[in-house]
Amino acid sequence: MAESKRTGTYSQRFSEGETGLFQAPDSKVYERSNTMSGKTVNSAILLLVIGNAMAIASDVFIKLLEPGTPIFQFAFLRCILTLVFLLPLLGQLNRRHLFAGLGVHTVRAHIHLAGILCMVIALGNLPLATANAVFYAAPILVMVLSVIIFREQLTPLSVFAVFSGFAGIVVILRPVEFNWAAIAALASAFALAINAVMVRQLPKQQSTVHKLFLNYLLILPAAGALAWWEGAAWNAGILISALGSALFILGYNITVLLAYRQVDANQVTSAEYTGLIWAVAIGWIWFGEVPDLWFLAGSLMIVVPLILIGLRHRRRSPARGFNPDTRRAKKEERKAGFSDGNHRLAHECRE
């Protein structure tokens, strides 16, 4: 999955902290009329379905790279092109806090770069659906990291999701078939999870566009140095793949951000996993990659518990339009941790 994947899904499952697409949302954004709530949820689901299709399209551009393609050069070009696409939005940067949280941004950016490189290796050597299924382990890793780093407590359902998810990864990859591509897919999921957890440390006054811009800007020196060290001749084919991948993953980010500005994550988060359906369909039709029973069983072991967690939160949380005490609801939302199944942030790393 392209970053972010997914994490996921991340994830990105997608606002970074409390910020919206361009600026921190006003409380009025959360006050929806009862008559519009159903329509809003349906629109958000449609946005997520389209967004996840765009994320898989980004993966396809990577998978179409020729064997032996210089991956450092690809990562460098992709970062440059993403920055170019973000240029029209420079006016949305908070210039008073332009480099606030620079240390966290820098660490997060370089973890992101490592995730991109691992993702390219995984997509180049694994079936499209298999790689994406492993990327969807990122939300599970987020839960584990939340226990280690933030001392959060896992709910029984979250514990089940963790063990089921890791078992699902083993079923999909099967230890006898473990190779560098499988390890790269797991490393990419781990990078997504770390970046998702680090969202908490980012300045709240910076918009998501601001964070995306700093992320790619800070990647450039290391990516450029690696591309120079690689010493490969410039390739127009790589430029086209980098352009397509950057464009579609940015489209994914925007559609998912718009979706989560309309509704609470727990109302529509299961729609994030339509990305796996897109991956299976495109892999089967385009690349002739027919999923086997091992893949189907393992994917269900990863995804189903996460969907159950989302449904559980949906039952517990009132819809925005029906909540008479918006401030109290938002306060409770901020208290929600990663370990209770709030895996939406795991997909924020699909940047």
pTM of this structure: 0.80
**How confident is residue 285, by pLDDT bands cut at 50, 70 and 90?**
very high
In this prediction, residues 214-238 reach a mean pLDDT of 93
pLDDT, position 318: 55
Tens of pLDDT along 105-152? 999 999 999 999 999 999 999 999 999 999 988 888 888 888 888 888
Q: Do the domain assignments include residue 1?
A: no
- Cα–Cα distances (Å) from 19 to 155, 161, 167, 338, in that order, read 27, 28, 35, 17
In this prediction, residues 240-255 reach a mean pLDDT of 93
For 195-251, give the DSSP string.
Answer: HHHHGGGS-TTS-HHHHHHHHHHHHHHHHHHHHHHHTPPP-HHHHHHHHHHHHHHHH
pLDDT, position 289: 92
- Residue type (1 letter), 59: D
Give the span between the Cα atoms of 150 and 112, in whole angstroms. Answer: 21
Q: Do the domain assignments include residue 334?
A: yes
**How confident is residue 327, by pLDDT bands cut at 50, 70 and 90?**
very low
**How confident is residue 351, by pLDDT bands cut at 50, 70 and 90?**
low
Number of domains in the chain: 1
**How confident is residue 178, by pLDDT bands cut at 50, 70 and 90?**
low
- Residue type (1 letter), 259: A
Q: Do the domain assignments include residue 29?
A: no
**57 or 208, which is more confident:** 57
Residue 29 has pLDDT above 50, yes or no: no
Q: Do the domain assignments include residue 30?
A: no
Q: Do the domain assignments include residue 263?
A: yes
pLDDT, position 175: 66
Q: Do the domain assignments include residue 351?
A: no
Domain range spanning residue 224? 6-20+36-346
